[in-house]
């Protein structure tokens, strides 16, 4: 029986795999105080309504619109400053202005060859889950009020 070794995936195949992933995938790098997007996959475009031309070379903050008073945003900033991974659920807004809840995971990656810190983001729309959790909390509160 042959031993399977960990071999590199062809760059074109890797690009296609990432482009067709179910969840949004972004790659960003620090530029001053901003973390600018260098890549977004198709799922990100579909989830947000923004195409790559709309958002590349911008900081991801545009997804929060004017809704910047979220505690999770400071967790993201702290994680980026300390080069640590982080996972949060944020209120984000599509290009058409509609709200969606984004389960966002960010992982830092330092490329020793280029001397650059990259950030890999994975985004999942959890709007339905958040709505169900809110509804469940409301039902529990009403039941508790009835039961005293």
In b/e form, how buried is each residue of 83-111, taking b as 16+ CB within 10 angstroms? Answer: eeebebebbbbeeeeeebbbbbebebeee
| Domains of the chain: residue spans and CATH | 11-147 (3.30.450.20)
pLDDT above 90: residue 102:
yes
Mean model confidence pLDDT for the chain: 91
Burial class from Cβ neighbours inside 10 Å (0-12, 13-18, 19+) for residue 118 reads middle
Q: What is the pLDDT of residues 9-68, one digit of tens each?
A: 888 898 899 999 999 999 999 888 889 999 999 999 999 999 999 999 999 899 999 998
Flag whether pLDDT at 97 surpasses 50: yes
pLDDT confidence band for 6 (50 / 70 / 90): low
Alpha helices in the chain (DSSP H): 11-19, 42-48, 52-55, 71-81, 127-147
Cβ atoms of 120 and 109 within 8 Å: the answer is yes
38 touches 55 (CB < 8 A): no
CB atoms within 10 A of CB 35: 23
Instruction: Tell whether the model's pLDDT for residue 5 goes beyond 60.
Output: no
What percentage of residues in the chain have a pLDDT greater than 70? 95
pLDDT at 116: 87
Q: How far apart are CA 52 and CA 75, in angstroms?
A: 26
């Amino acid at each position: 029986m042959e031993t399977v070794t960990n071999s590199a995936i062809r760059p074109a195949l890797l690009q296609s795999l990432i482009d067709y992933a179910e969840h949004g995938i972004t790659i960003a790098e620090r530029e001053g105080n901003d973390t600018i997007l260098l890549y977004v996959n198709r799922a990100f475009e579909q989830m947000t309504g923004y195409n790559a031309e709309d958002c590349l070379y911008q900081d991801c903050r545009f997804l929060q619109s004017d809704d910047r008073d979220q505690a999770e945003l400071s967790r993201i900033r702290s994680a980026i400053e300390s080069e640590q991974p982080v996972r949060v659920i944020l209120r984000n807004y599509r290009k058409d202005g509609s709200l969606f809840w984004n389960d966002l995971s960010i992982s830092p990656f330092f490329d020793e060859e280029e001397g650059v810190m990259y950030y890999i983001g994975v985004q999942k729309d959890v709007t339905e889950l958040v709505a169900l959790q809110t509804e469940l909390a409301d039902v529990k509160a009403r039941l508790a009020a009835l039961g005293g």
